[in-house]
Amino acid sequence: MIFLLFSLQYSNEWVLVKTPDTTNLNGLKIIKHLFGDWYRVKLPSGADALKFSESLKKSKGIEDASPDYICKALMVPNDPYYEYQWNLRKFIKLEEAWDIAGGGSPDIIIGILDTGCSFEEYPVPDNEKDNVIGNSYHIYDDYNKSSFVEGYDFVNEDEHPNDDNGHGTIVSGVIIEATNNGRGVAGIAFNTRVMPVKVLGYDRFGKVSDLSRGIIYAVKHGARILNMSLGNTQDVGILRDAVTYASNNNVIMVAASGNKGTQGVYYPAAYPEVIAVGAYTYDSLNDTLLLASYSNYGVEIEFIGPGGDIIDSDTILVYQQGFRPYIDKYNLAILDTVHYYGLTGTSLACPHITALCALMLSVAPELRPEDVRHVLINTAQDFGLPGWDMFSGYGIPDFQEAVRTAYFLSHFESLNDILTIQGDFGNEKTSGASVLSTGNFWLTRDTSYILPVDLKLINSAGQVVKEFTLHETYNLSIEKSGVYFLYGSGRAGIKLIVTR
């Protein structure tokens, strides 16, 4: 099935402008009158349609302006079981996000800290044969070898982090299962890559020391995001230090809240640096969502994702390709039974949010963890009680809006695009101009830019005079006369001149 959708590609020849009086265009060339008060207006040479239209909106007499976005056909994946993936098809607007980001970028590496992944054909080592049924680990036919990068097994201390349980394979499948290949089911960020880091054994248990080492390993080996569909009730120093290390290296961390249905979010999800994810399920009879009965809750919860549930006869699972998973010590995992298995839990909700973060970084790789979190909060669909609540956090992420916003933010190239400055001589800043003042400057963040802006004021000797964060407005006072430069968020700066 295909249908039409607006993507974030647009004409580089003109913008669309709505104005009741064409004199408000101040000499801009009208290419064509469309209907009513709408016109195609020629884009000035070298200008970006997105940024130019945003600046036009601030002009007197301009009611609206936007790029002329390209309308194109969006292909729904041809994976035959995609129609059963309620978790991808309903409520989160994934297909619309794919139209912006595709399946993401292979430059984005996601560390999966779990029971391992099914990523290679490899004989089961002698020391692991009692833990699994089968003679060889496999990569199954709905996965691409290129979707995996080198990882490590901290349970068996080797370089083959194969899955002997089934949990890690299904978790990774949510993110990178091969998509639109006419086989099986789809993944979300299917063009990104996964780093298998085995920190849980065949029975889904593991040591916090191995988890901590796994975090350090993944960060040192290039992971931009960590998925941790696991947890424990204790705040342990070694884990806290590992999480701090990842945070200090600008790595996004996403973790499951826990499956007891009680108050108390598990660690590492409970750490403030980690995005804590609970779960919701789908009521197929009433076509609506419900908070999953097992989803742990608390003050740390930020979002909920699709985790499924079993309610009476209504069985709602998250399906991915894998082998028959471990059930108990009498029913070990069977490696040769490839099938599409379904699980429930916050473990399954977690990789949905991880995959969304991967799509966001794919279109805006410069975003920091705090930027990604800020976008997710500002674009989430409220659920349950109005506003944030301890059961659903900020709600259900809107994949389309989160990816669109990330893309949009990445197109602000200079501070001139995201803030205005006035000096106390009354001369408002214009693009590329210096701002003159006797020492007082008023900074205002553009309303179309939703992130806080970290700024540095540097003097002509290259010394940092002041560091501050612009949220909406800020009064900057400079005591000494001279030439200063304002820099921030990796963007081209603005010259400030103080004369007293």
The residues facing 74 across adjacent strands are 3
Three-state secondary structure call for residue 276: strand
The neighbouring-strand residues paired with 186 are none
- Measured CA to CA, the distance from residue 302 to residue 377 in angstroms comes to 8
pLDDT for position 500 = 73
| Rounded Cα gap, residues 33 and 13, in angstroms | 15
pLDDT over 50 (residue 239): yes
Q: What's the number of CA atoms in the CB half-sphere (13 Å) around residue 392?
A: 22
pLDDT digit string, tens, across residues 188-219? 999 999 999 999 999 999 999 999 999 999 99
pLDDT category, 425, cuts 50, 70, 90? low
Beta 64-75 vs 2-18: how paired, if at all? antiparallel
- pLDDT at position 46 is 81
| pLDDT per position as a tens digit, 185-194 | 999 999 999 9
CA angle 375/363/318 to nearest 5° reads: 70
Average pLDDT, the chain: 90
pLDDT tens digit sequence for 264-278: 999 999 999 999 999
The structural domains of the chain, ordered by start, are 2-75 (3.30.70), 82-409 (3.40.50.200), 415-498 (2.60.40)
Catalytic residues: 114, 167, 347
Which among 374, 310, 368 has a CA at the least distance from the CA of 344? 310
Q: Can you tell me whether residue 321 is helix, strand or coil? A: strand
Please report the DSSP string for 431-463 in residue order.
Answer: TT--EEESSEEEEEE-TT--S-EEEEEEETTS-
The rounded distance, in Å, linking the Cα atoms of 180 and 144 is: 12
60 class by beta-carbon count within 10 Å (0-12 exposed, 13-18 middle, 19+ buried): exposed
pLDDT category, 434, cuts 50, 70, 90?
A: low
User: Is the distance from CB of 471 to CB of 452 less than 8 angstroms?
Assistant: yes
What does the DSSP 8-state code read for residue 403? Answer: H
pLDDT of residue 373: 96
Q: What is the mean pLDDT of residues 152-175?
A: 97
**C-alpha–C-alpha distance, residues 407 and 402, integer Å:** 9
Q: Name the pLDDT band for 446 (thresholds 50, 70, 90).
A: confident
How confident is the model at residue 227, as a pLDDT? 98
Q: How far apart are CA 221 and CA 251, in angstroms?
A: 12
pTM (2 decimals)?
0.82
Q: Which residue has the higher pLDDT, 118 or 24?
A: 118
How far is C-alpha 24 from the geometric centre of its chain's CA atoms?
A: 40
Structure confidence at residue 3 as a pLDDT band (50, 70, 90): very low
φ and ψ of 369, to 5 deg:
-55, -40
Report for 245-254, 323-332, 457-466, 479-488: range of highest mean pLDDT:
245-254
CA distances from 256 to 8, 56, 274, 345, 499 (A): 32, 44, 10, 9, 55
Q: Are 105 and 192 in contact (CB under 8 A)?
A: yes
Average pLDDT over residues 235-252: 97
